[in-house]
Amino acid sequence: MKLFYNGHEIEITAFGTRKIFYDGTLISSKKSIFKSTHIFTVIENGENVQYEIKVGLKWHGLREKISIRRNGRIIYLDHYHEEGIRIERITSLTKTQKIASGLLRAAIVALLAFVVATNYMNYMNMESAKEEEITFLKGFERSYIKNITNKVIRAMDYSNPVVRDYAARLAAKYPGEYNLKQMSSIYDDVFQKWKYVDDPKGEYISPASRTIQNGLIGDCDDYAVLMCSLIEAVGGDCRIILAFGKEGNHVYAEAKIKANQETIDEINSYYAGALHTQSDLGAVRRINYHSDPDGEWLNLDQISAYPGGAFYNAEKYFVIYPNGSYKAREKVDDLKRRKYLRSKYLQLTNPEKETIH
């Protein structure tokens, strides 16, 4: 595939040895039968620009699957690319591969025609899983959901140096691999410094890097995107929830955890020592998380002063992952879980001896 962006040419070879050419110069070359990641820095308009290009093949092995980030911001995916990008050719298949691809497509068309003729309704129900999952969102255009997803993905620039450096400074208070105390440190900083300001008319989602540079100002979607980006920037797993309820709509983040007693106790032990300086926090007696086929996810909604606060009362919610995938869920009571904390951690420590972080 070859594309042009900001006056520069990027050519990507996905078959055989994966090669990246920038303005005609070979910049990266890797051999891999799976997905390969190419990271390089170039100078554009006098500034250093970092590209991250992931190259792989689709399930049938006949078409490339490519994503491109520029300074942490996605500029190209299979189903999305920024305005201003010109694509000269969309495939690098050999002649033999083109013939095989044509035969495969013909077989697929014949199979689909047979399915439509024998059972039209079943065919419609087996359309894209993404489309099937959001049909219950009555009153919302599918294009709106896809548009919001693309905006969230672009805004979550967690590999941007501004975001990475900010997250690393907060996580460094508890060195080592990603852990819950690092997550709590990030949560506290954003929660305590956040200033709420409404969006302009229309749907605007601020990139995480811009929110940091602007002094942590924005509305609920900006808060969720920033929280999720900071956690992803230090090795955690996070996702964005679009919640739809009778009282209105809301956006918040969730972080992936292992919901065992040790995890719960670690969160509470972190906050037990801070209670004497946060009189409005109160004792952290339980945390709330979702349990679904994708794992266990701790609630990071800004309406609570600590991770795992009460859930927003939503009838339906829509899940967006940083890799661009999305799922829709209806309200199911047994998907919500609570862990009650051991009483020994609810005792306040001596304020004269205890310090925060």
> Bigger pLDDT: 96 or 30?
30
Task: Please tell me whether residues 270 and 297 are part of one structural domain.
Answer: yes
Q: Count Cα neighbours of 48 within 13 Å in the Cβ-side half-sphere.
A: 6
- Whether 85 and 100 map to the same domain: the answer is no
DSSP of 150-183, one letter per residue? HHHHHH--TTSHHHHHHHHHHHTTS-SSS-HHHH
Which residues span the domain enclosing 227?
Answer: 142-346
Instruction: Return the CATH number at 214.
Output: 3.10.620.30
Structure tokens at 61: 């092995």
- Phi and psi based region of residue 255 (left: phi greater than 0; alpha: psi -120 to 50; beta: remaining): beta
Long-range contacts of 332-335 (CB under 8 A, 24+ apart): 335/290, 335/291, 335/292
- Give residue 67's identity as a one-letter amino acid code: S
Whole-angstrom CA distances from 253 to 234, 256, 290 are 16, 10, 12
Q: Which of 110, 109, 106 is nearest to 98 (CA)?
A: 106
Q: What is the pLDDT of residue 254?
A: 93
Average pLDDT score, the chain: 78
Residues 119 and 159 in one domain: no
Residues 218, 82 share a domain: no
Task: Name which of 116-120, 133-137, 169-173 the model is least confident about.
Answer: 133-137
Q: Are residues 65 and 12 in the same domain?
A: yes
Sort 80 into a burial class: Cβ within 10 Å, 0-12 / 13-18 / 19+.
Answer: middle
* 294 in the same domain as 196: yes
151: its two tokens: 């905006």
**Residue 249 placed within a domain:** yes
Structure tokens at 69: 């980030």
Sort residue 252 into left (φ over 0), alpha (ψ -120 to 50) or beta. Answer: beta
* Least confidently predicted of 78-82, 105-109, 203-207, 227-231: 105-109
Q: Answer yes or no: is 238 within a domain.
A: yes
Residues 199 and 122 in one domain: no
Residue 286 φ/ψ, nearest 5 degrees: -160, 160
Q: What does the pLDDT look like over 211-221, one tens digit per residue?
A: 999 999 999 99
Most confident of 133-142, 182-191, 326-335: 182-191
> Is residue 268 classed as helix, strand or coil in its secondary structure?
helix
Residues near 92 by beta carbon (within 8 Å), at least 6 away in sequence? 1, 12, 13, 14, 15, 64
- Structural domains of the chain, count: 3
Going by the DSSP 8-state scheme, the letter that residue 62 receives in this structure is S
Predicted pLDDT at 98: 61
Buried b / exposed e over 153-185, threshold 16 CB at 10 Å, is bbbbbbbbebbbebbeebbeebeeebbbbbbbb
